[in-house]
Structure 1
Amino acid sequence: MQTYDLICVGAGSGNMLFGPTLDGWRSAIVESSRFGGTCLNRGCIPSKMFVVAADAARSVSGSHRLGVHATLDRVDWPAIRDRVFGRIDPLHDRAVEYRRANGIDVYTESARFLTPKVLEVAGEKIGAERIVVAAGSRPVIPPIPGLESVPFHTSDTIMRVDEVPTSMIIVGGGFIAAEMGHVFGAFGADITLIERGPRLLAVEDEQISSRFTELARDRFDVRVDTAVTAVAPGPSGVAVTVERGGRVEVLESAALMVATGRRPNTDRLDVVAGGLEVDDHGHIVTDDAYRTSVPGVWAFGDDANHFQLKHMANAEARVVAHNVAHPDSPRQLRHDLVPHAVFGDPQIAGVGLTEAQARQDGIDHVVVVRDYADAAYGWALEDTTSFVKLIVDPRARTLLGAHIIGPSAAILIQPLLQGMMLGETVDRLAHQVLYIHPALTEVVEQALLEVS
């Protein structure tokens, strides 16, 4: 059996573990797919490259409100797709070569635990004093009758199709559905979104998700409170049977995408055989330092929590790298403030409590909502639907939550997030910080001034 000082299972954010502090260790990394993980190959990065192109296409049709009358000649999907993956695909081989050239053994087959701290990879046993599990997640495939009888896509495959389908049904109403609906809708597909709950992006603040659902209806056929009961081949591609309030209907589409969440890959690793405790969702149970139930084994990212956010996994990787090298002085990472963004149209960003959560938990709070239209740059955009929403503790004078829907939401949230993480009061953020006029950040300033 090959033995190591450190084995990392997963080369997404797990690939970040290997740095100067671990020089001199005998190390290995196991990755059965592609270096870079979900984010680089099937998630955040390619999807945002497509979103940028989709935003450009959408800006043409929306420019008439500014007095600019333009038309979109065509969308060259192969060129868009090949630009994205022509940049991404070569990175895997380079990463493997780099690690091997720097003395790290790379295994490119699937791994599974045989016993605590012992793995099997392609029939070979490998073990280590320290193991980090960061093998990521995969799409959930719901048990829809007939689904196995039709071709369908997930976020793993949809971005590599050869052409934009004329129509596409997306099962799900979360961030993947929102982003891919935006992309393919902008490129000419007729999109139908099917969500079993009452709103799209239901985990967002209710006012945000309601506005997003309302605007999505202007572009797409949005079916909320709707269950998919069966799927079958159809004349145009696929026939999807749905039910809402006892009414059954069959929807036809050229393509079908399933976007109903993701699940950790811990079952494929047989982590229970490795002595690792898992919760009801299959996540490995860890403490605040990412230590598992087996001493010397750590876990982070999608295998250890539900965040499914690359920026969180990267921060966790930095903490785990320190803790592996310095187990007697472990670091921790706060989980109370985890920002996120949805790069749909419109864009959404949020952090902290929603209004409903504050109400449900009995937390005293004040709500402020400020429209983009109140700021000069909002005038320039002719924006009538976007807003900033703040949830404020009236006694401590701190932000409990911040939620934004509209252009550049993921950027506008940052000063609010920094204020929250650094413990600043809304009064200091409003009165002791300068906001450039007439930049869009003035809408953030105005919201803060309203409550300060």
Structure 2
Amino acid sequence: PMHDDAVAYRRANGVDVFAGSARFVEPKVVEVLDGEHAGERLTADNIVVTVGSRPAVPPIPGLDTVPYLTSDTIMRIDEVPRSLLVLGGGFIAAELGHVFEAFGAAVTIVQRGPRLLMAEDVEISTTYTRLARNRFTVLTNAAITRVERTATGMRAQVRTTKGATPSDVWIEADALLVATGRIPNTDRFDAAGAGGLELDAHGHIVVNAYLQSNVPGVWSFGDVANHFQLKHMANAERRVLSHNLQHPHELRPGPAYAAPHAVFADPQIASIGMTEEQVVAAGLPHVISRKRYADVAYGWALEDTTSFVKVIADPTTRLLHGAHIIGPQAALLIQPLLQARMLGQTVDQVARDVVYIHPALSEAVENALLELP
């Protein structure tokens, strides 16, 4: 719910705020379901649907008997648990596992796949998983099959598969974090039914490049309409949508060409474009260069032995297919590679037509580009 101060601020600036839940009762007509305006129906020439997403919670026996945490709730707890069991191996698990281990919790991560951060380039994912085992107990090829409450917290039955024979083990923890992704909230306001909105197979509102839905005058962006689940992508879409609402005859497309992301764990990870595996699967011609942080002055000074920059490019057009970084400041170092991909600059332009400051860590990016065949 919106804080009282936030509501007061908006009302003071001419915005009507209807506190409560709502649903479509017909296309472009929304009914307030509760609160002081319950039963009131609203319509407009333009409606923007930005209801976001919520944590996906798997149907695990006993989970409803345990006060489990999600990414929506864990940062609001009053004290750090002594032990934290994390279900899931994606960016939420990596980031929050990092936070709570740094606070002193003993963290165990249960991941159904063979590595953590499976959506990353395999080299990046493999390196991160190896390093994560130095901080966390990491169980891969594993799943929680049952959860029970205990006097001090909870315990979970974890089934691991190594070879052909699965085995079960019980793990106790003070708290359980469910980090198995997020789902759009379209089912909570009858978007596809009374609202008439087209949804994709995952429940997201289908929009075109200009963020328009199939219902004229209904627009959408953010987690409810895209698969990125990234605040910076929603921010970029919001700017586009603001322009399009104010300039209906000069529509701008949204930022669909590239969706950069970063994982704020330790080590950091940042990525733009295709992984090596995606490039190979697509049959695209490519060349690859890798540069260790340790090979440039700043990385040498850090005594870094695990971090690297990886760039993948088309050997003919010299355009980037993708770039992937693991190590300190990865989210900053990816920026020139992101700009190259989004602005159509060649790897040679980015490598040779600009000057990189010495001894900054960005020299790892420079040298990775310079060493592309």
Query: Does the alignment reach a TM-score above 0.5?
Result: yes
Q: Which residue of 2 aligns with 1:297?
A: 218
Give the aligned partner of residue 264 of structure 1. Answer: 184
Which of 385, 389, 394 pairs up with 2:310? 389
Equivalents in 1 of 2:178, 2:308: separation in Å?
Answer: 30
Q: 1:138 & 1:275 partners in 2: Cα distance?
A: 22
Q: Which residue of 1 aligns with 2:297?
A: 376
The reply to whether residue 208 of structure 1 matches residue 119 of structure 2 is no
What is the aligned partner in structure 1 of residue 9 from structure 2? 98
Corresponding residue for residue 278 of structure 2: 357
Q: Which amino acid aligns with 1:200?
A: L
Tell me how far 1:94 sits from its aligned partner. 3.8
Name the residue aligned to 2:30.
119
Name the residue aligned to 2:256: 335
Which residue pairs with 1:74 in the alignment? none
In the alignment of these two chains, the number of paired residues is 363
1:334 to partner: Cα distance: 3.6
Q: CA deviation at 1:264?
A: 0.7
Query: Hey, what's the Cα distance between the residues in 1 that align with 2:67 and 2:143?
Result: 20
- Tell me what 1:19 maps to: none
Q: Matched residues in 1 for 2:13 and 2:77: separation?
A: 36
How far does residue 420 in structure 1 lie from its aligned partner after superposition?
1.4
Tell me which of 136, 153, 157 is aligned to 1:241. Answer: 157
Quote the offset at 1:128 in angstroms.
Answer: 1.1
Alignment partner of 2:44: what SS?
strand
Name 2:240's counterpart in structure 1: 319
CA distance in 2, matches of 1:277, 1:139: 22
Q: Is the 8 A contact 2:147 2:155 kept in 1?
A: yes
Query: Structure 1 length normalisation: TM-score?
Result: 0.79
Matches of 2:210 and 2:319, distance apart in 1: 27
Pick one of 104, 118, 128 that aligns with 1:188: 104
State the distance in 2 between where 1:421 and 1:278 align: 28
Aligned equivalents of 1:160 and 1:287: distance in 2? 36
Q: CA deviation at 1:321?
A: 1.6
- CA deviation map 1:33-57 (0-9, x unaligned): 23xxxxxxxxxxxxxxxxxxxxxxx
Amino acid at match of 1:280: A
| Letter of the 1:276 counterpart | L
- Alpha-carbon distance between aligned partners in 2 of 1:299 and 1:172, rounded to the nearest angstrom: 29
Q: Deviations over 1:121-150 (max 9, x none)?
A: 122111111101011111111101100011
Structure 1 residue ranges without an equivalent (≥5): 1-32, 35-91
Note the alpha carbon deviations across 1:55-113, whole angstroms, 9 max, x for none: xxxxxxxxxxxxxxxxxxxxxxxxxxxxxxxxxxxxx4443222211211011211110
> Which secondary structure state, in structure 2, belongs to the residue aligned with residue 196 of structure 1?
coil
Give yes or no for the alignment of 1:435 onto 2:356. Answer: yes
Report the equivalent of 2:58: 142
C-alpha contact 1:118 1:126 (8 A) present in aligned 2: yes
CA distance in 1, matches of 2:307, 2:186: 40
Indicate which of 148, 163, 166 corresponds to 1:232.
148
Partner of 2:326: 405
Counterpart among 19, 28, 31 of residue 108 in structure 1: 19
Give, in angstroms, the shift of residue 325 of structure 1. Answer: 2.4
* Equivalent position to 1:419, from 340, 348, 354: 340
The percentage of aligned residue pairs carrying the same residue is 61
Q: Could you say which structure has the higher helix fraction?
A: 1
Distance 2:355 2:8 in 1: 48
In structure 1, which of residues 272, 277, 288 is the aligned counterpart of residue 209 of structure 2? 288
Q: What one-letter code is carried by the residue in structure 2 that aligns with 1:269?
A: F
- What's the TM-score once normalised by structure 2's chain length? 0.95
CA RMSD of aligned residues (A): 1.1
Map of 1:157 onto structure 2: 73
- Tell me, yes or no, if structure 1 residue 307 matches structure 2 residue 228: yes
Question: What letter corresponds to residue 231 of structure 2 in structure 1?
Answer: K
Where does residue 255 of structure 1 map in the other structure?
175
Rounded Cα–Cα distance in structure 1 between residues aligned with 2:92 and 2:226: 18
- After TM superposition, give the deviation of residue 235 of structure 1 in Å: 5.0
8 Å Cα contact 1:228/1:243 also seen in 2:
yes
Aligned-partner Cα distance in 2 for 1:209–1:429: 26
Matches of 1:131 and 1:102, distance apart in 2: 19
Distance in structure 2 (CA, Å) of the matches to 1:434 and 1:327: 41
Q: Which residue of 1 aligns with 2:85?
A: 169
Check whether the contact 1:130–1:296 (CA below 8 A) recurs between aligned residues.
yes
Distance 1:379 1:325 in 2: 51
Q: Is the 8 A contact 1:371 1:387 kept in 2?
A: yes
Q: Is the 8 A contact 1:154 1:259 kept in 2?
A: yes
Alpha-carbon shift at residue 383 of structure 1 (Å): 0.4
Supply the AA of the counterpart residue of 2:160: R
Distance 1:398 1:281 in 2: 32
Whole-angstrom CA distance in 2 between matches of 1:274 and 1:423 = 39
Q: Residue 55 of structure 2 contacts residue 182 of structure 2 at CA under 8 Å; is this kept in 1?
A: yes
Alpha-carbon separation, structure 2, partners of 1:352 and 1:209: 16
CA distance in 2: counterparts of 1:235 and 1:98, whole angstroms? 45
